[in-house]
Structure 1
Amino acid sequence: MSNLDSTLAGHAVPKPGASQPTNDGLDLIEEHILPKLDPEFLQYFIDVIAKQPPAHTIPIEEVRKSPQKHQPPCALDSSKEKGVGDHVVSSQDGTSIPVRVYHPVEDERGVVRPGPHPVHLNFHGGGFVLGDLHSEAGLCLVMRKAGVVVVDVNYRHCPETIWGKCIQDAWAALNWVRDEHVSLNVDPFSISIGGVSAGGHISLVLQHMARDAGIPLKLCMPTVPPTTDCLSLDYYTQSPYPSFHEFHRGPVLPWKRIKYFGNQCMPRDKLPEIRKMWPDWWLAPMRAPNWSGLCNTYIRTAEVDPLRDEGEAYAMKLVANGTMVTLKRYLGCPHTFMYLGVLSQKRQWDEDSIHALKVAHGLLK
């Protein structure tokens, strides 16, 4: 069965009397893409993105030296927030993986449920290269409003670590939550997983791994996930998905940025080794061998995103194999719209996240 959101998410229409985007910087966006974009994003592009050097031109060494300078807009230091605590998870090879745990605080009535609470694991985006416990702290603070504990996992990144360790780290975090459920005050039978972009990819792999291990999940909630090994491509034309071609020079996540991440994660000289180390479907969840018995899934895509079509193709494959799926496409939005607090559709993403988690974990009143 499926619950496909046929209405999708509407274009953001400027309110009467609202200012229209100025033209400075719009010449950087290709003509066939420009009319598709949300007007609120266009203004942000003019005010912020167009004034910065293209992200793919910044060497990874510079990013590592000044990580705060290159964090997404939703990044913040949440370590001092009420109900937030840091822990360490031991991965399969003994490496310590930092996680940040967000416990629910008072609801609108000033009440906190005693627990044990449902728990949601978040795997951040960043092309398997960028990100830390600050990157999506704003999103984690939003999601805990559903009344769930949120566990944010800072898995290992490339190029310092070979690709695939991120999956092992995420799997270790999932099992740590189950093993430590008493001390964490969480319900080991009410677990959901999700993430943005690379984190969405990780959550899709874990969806299959959990099924194979007999671990029940309430929901898998990836946003704008890559579901193929597109980071290993030599040219964007090798992708079979139309959105990959249509938006290969888009304003966010163009092909050059994808290739930038690919050069860190799956360089040509390391790719044979990576393919030998891990199951093929870890690199491309679309090639997973078994699609039966998977947990309910809520996939969200962005209209103006090269990864749109492969994310939606994954959703359709789930539907074809009997999984309950909700699919929502946010029209007019680029890849990282959920990071931009100035957008109405980012705020809609927040509301959708809270609602989906409440439904999945039986928390609706």
Structure 2
Amino acid sequence: MSNLDSDLGGHAVANQSAHGQQPTPGDGLDLIEDHILPQLDPDFVQYFVNVVAKKSQAHTIPIEEVRADPDSHRPPIALDTSKGYERVSDHVLSSQDGANITVRAYHPDPEQHGLGPWPVHLNFHGGGFVLGDLQAEAQLCLSMREAGVVVVDVNYRHCPETIWGKCIQDAWAALNWVRDSHTTLNINPTSISLGGVSAGGHISLVLQHMARDAGIPLKLCMASVPDANDSLTFKYYTDSPFSSFHEFHRGPVLPWKRIKYFGDLCMPQEKQEELKKLWPDWWFAPIRAPNWNGLCDTFIRTAQCDPLRDEGEAYAMKLIAGGTKVTVKRYLGCPHTFMYLKVMKQKQEYEDDAVDALRLAHGLGPRKVPLTE
């Protein structure tokens, strides 16, 4: 049996009732701890019982097995848009070390959004710096292009095949490639935003600072459920200073064992000193960035029942203290990567919020027709 996706899976140890039901061994509810269950949206709880609880615990699946059968380990919303979709194209660019990486561009409908040049938004997918590809968040990219922007989805390199940190270099190369390819993509190189989910959110936070330092103006950084701290380097969950990390360390999505699984593949204890000599300290923990002045407008989205909730919101507070215009939204009843679950009404809310934020940031005005219609 396989895990559900890059962050779903990894069962909790639990034993109490909620949502009016008395859990019994093996019914799925008994896998969610009593202090977490009442906080979760009922739609997610039902999905967990029907689907997640019947899958193998994600942190027990060897990475070799995942690589051998990637189709079984993608998010529930994964979509192959390489063929059969209009206005979708792949491009290859070179990273700093000469390695080739592929990006997929999603262009808006010119009948609805004009002939361009359009604003552009770079997307960096989630997956613990280990999982993910151009299928993982394709559905979200299709949704975001409805804002009237070109969405460029970046397939950065993953661990353990590539050392951690190359993902940042790949993302930076993609940002510069987009600026240099404005004619090819028919985009406005002065109207760029970027964002991502989870690990992709982490990458976005790092690039936010790098762009400022390089004098590259960004319209928006839109980071969702980001890991803003260096949790992948921890030996124990108790190493985190954030309350949500403790409260949900055995949560139904992204429990500590899953985080440790990613950490062992990205930053094993015996390699950490070597890695820390290669990259700036704040690349590992954007919340420790040395300069908080002059950063672009930011939209931080967190989930109520996510161990990464508090560090994402703490990062937002640092931005505010530095004078950045920040919007923070916490999605109630939601676990980490709730935006991958069609069964949750908050997923549509999340997509609507993204379109609204992108249109506002790029000066496109309010959308005329809600995505839900």
Normalised to the residue count of structure 1, the TM-score between the two structures is: 0.93
Aligned counterpart, 2:332? 331
Q: Match of 1:133, SS?
A: coil
Matched, 1:101 2:105: yes
Q: Which amino acid aligns with 1:200?
A: G
Q: Which runs of 5+ in 2 are unaligned?
A: 1-18, 367-373
How big is the shift at 1:21? 8.0
Contact 1:20 1:39 in 2 (8 A): no
Q: Match of 1:270, SS?
A: helix
Aligned counterpart, 2:274? 273
Contact 1:22 1:46 in 2 (8 A): no
Contact 1:315 1:325 in 2 (8 A): yes
* Separation in 2, partners of 1:216, 1:276: 29
* Map 1:202-221 → 2, pairs under 5 A: 202-221=203-222
Deviations 1:155-193 (A, max 9, x none): 000000000000000000000000011111000000000
* Separation in 2, partners of 1:246, 1:196: 21
Q: Which amino acid aligns with 2:46?
A: Q
Q: Match of 2:77, SS?
A: coil
Q: Which amino acid aligns with 2:164?
A: W
73-82 vs 58-67, which deviates more? 73-82
Q: Which amino acid aligns with 1:53?
A: S
Q: Match of 1:94, SS?
A: coil
Aligned counterpart, 1:343? 344
Aligned counterpart, 2:133? 132
Aligned counterpart, 1:7? none
Aligned counterpart, 2:119? 118
Aligned counterpart, 1:11? none
Q: Match of 1:331, SS?
A: strand
Identical columns (%):
72
* Separation in 1, partners of 2:20, 2:146: 33
- Count of aligned positions: 344
Q: Match of 2:104, SS?
A: strand
Matched, 1:68 2:71: yes
Q: Match of 1:269, SS?
A: helix
Aligned counterpart, 2:369? none
* Separation in 1, partners of 2:251, 2:144: 29
* Separation in 2, partners of 1:284, 1:357: 26
Aligned counterpart, 1:226? 227
How big is the shift at 1:26? 0.4
Q: Match of 2:82, SS?
A: coil
How big is the shift at 1:112? 3.7
Q: Which amino acid aligns with 1:276?
A: K
* Separation in 2, partners of 1:78, 1:341: 18
How big is the shift at 1:153? 0.2
Contact 1:21 1:39 in 2 (8 A): no
* Separation in 2, partners of 1:243, 1:114: 46
Aligned counterpart, 2:360? 359
Aligned counterpart, 2:16? none
Contact 1:227 1:286 in 2 (8 A): yes
* Separation in 1, partners of 2:358, 2:191: 11
Q: Match of 1:111, SS?
A: helix
Residues 321 and 59 from structure 1, CA distance in 2 versus in 1: closer, same or farther, beyond 3 angstroms?
A: same
* Map 1:1-365 → 2, pairs under 5 A: 24-80=27-83, 81-105=85-109, 110-365=111-366
How big is the shift at 1:364? 1.3
* Separation in 2, partners of 1:310, 1:224: 9
39-48 vs 20-29, which deviates more? 20-29
* Separation in 1, partners of 2:297, 2:34: 38
How big is the shift at 1:89? 1.2
* Separation in 1, partners of 2:90, 2:316: 34
* Separation in 2, partners of 1:335, 1:103: 28
How big is the shift at 1:22? 9.2
How big is the shift at 1:342? 1.1
Normalised to the residue count of structure 2, the TM-score between the two structures is: 0.91
Q: Which runs of 5+ in 1 are unaligned?
A: 1-18
Residues 97 and 315 from structure 1, CA distance in 2 versus in 1: closer, same or farther, beyond 3 angstroms?
A: same
Contact 1:159 1:264 in 2 (8 A): yes
Runs of 4+ in structure 1 off by over 2 angstroms are 19-24
Q: Which amino acid aligns with 2:37?
A: L
* Separation in 2, partners of 1:22, 1:199: 38
